Amino acid sequence: MKPVFNTVQNLVSLGLHGMAVAYERQLETPALLKEAFDTRLGLMVDAENSERESRKITRLLKAARLRESEATMDTIEFKSSRGLDRNTVMALGECDWLIRRQNVIITGATGTGKTWLACALANQACRLGRLTLYRTATKLFEEISLSYADHTMPKLRRQLIRAELLVIDDLGIGGIDAQIGPFLLDVIDQQSQNGSLLITSQYPKEKWYDLFSDPTIADAILDRIVHKSHVIELKGDSMRKVKSRQRA
């Protein structure tokens, strides 16, 4: 048994944890031991690939910091009252729009499920290997303001523009002041060259122009976002109120 132990330890020391587990499983399964070497090796390689993919997804989901970590494509509610078309959402779930560097805009009143839908799409992006970052607009603007104060703007910029999908949730709360606008434009301009945006807002996109203090910045930012976006307008009552009534 010593050579077997050494083989397992060597695989682990090489970082091949998936192969090590698969090898031990084969030793415990007489039927597998009768398979040809190439077959057994292929099973171990497949296990290693699966293990690495699982670890990568876990890292991406952790780095994304999604507000609704349990939101997935399978948990989306397609009630007719929400105005949510299943075919449209499922097509977005394939993430071809990320390959084309397009954007998604989700609008609707408070409580209609914008954040959940955004996080479900972001979760799917992570599972397809896309580096994703989630921020509420309020948190993002706080980070931008702090970066001005402590001179860490280059670091924050690099972090944001690296994202293949940047999620900005609840755009419009408190508006966008003149100091934040130029930095936001710079980030969106650079990030759009290698990624996509997913933005949620209580305000329809036609009213976003009024959120900016500087009309020139507003024109530049909206020009980079709106014209290549898929738009979902959620309708109906607050889902939080509906669920509260159902529990009562």
> What pLDDT score does 247 carry?
40
Cα-based angle 105, 67, 213 (whole degrees, multiple of 5)? 50
Q: Distance from CA of residue 103 to its chain's centroid?
A: 12
| Tens-place pLDDT, residues 66-104 | 999 999 999 999 887 788 889 999 999 999 999 999 999
- Rounded to an integer, the average pLDDT of 48-56 is 82
pLDDT at 239 over 90: no
CATH no. for 65-247: 3.40.50.300
pLDDT given at position 147: 93
Cα distance between residue 132 and residue 63, in whole Å: 7
- Res 98: pLDDT: 96
Give percent of the chain with pLDDT exceeding 70: 93
How many whole angstroms separate alpha carbon 6 and alpha carbon 150?
52
Identify which of 120, 80, 73, 118 has the alpha carbon closest to the alpha carbon of residue 235. 80
Whole-angstrom Cα Rg for the chain: 23
This prediction's pTM: 0.81
Phi and psi angles of residue 113, each rounded to the nearest 5 degrees, phi first: 100, 25
- Give one DSSP letter per residue of 200-241, joined into a string: EESS-GGGGGGGBS-HHHHHHHHHHHGGGEEEEE--SS-HHH
Structure token digits, residue 15 = 């970082």
Confidence bin at 1 (pLDDT 50/70/90)? very low
Whole-angstrom Cα distance, residue 120 to residue 209?
Answer: 27
- pLDDT tens-digit profile of 155-174? 999 999 999 999 999 998 87
Give the mean model confidence (pLDDT) for residues 201-218.
Answer: 91
Give the start-to-end residue ranges of the domains of the chain: 2-58, 65-247
Q: What is the DSSP letter of 83?
A: T
Give per-residue pLDDT as tens, 123-144.
999 999 999 999 999 999 999 9
CA 73-76-77 angle, 5° bins: 155
Q: Under a CB-based contact definition with an 8 Å cutoff, are residues 184 and 216 in contact?
A: no
Cα 181–chain centre separation = 24
d(CA 175, CA 162): 25
Element (H, E) at 136: strand 132-136
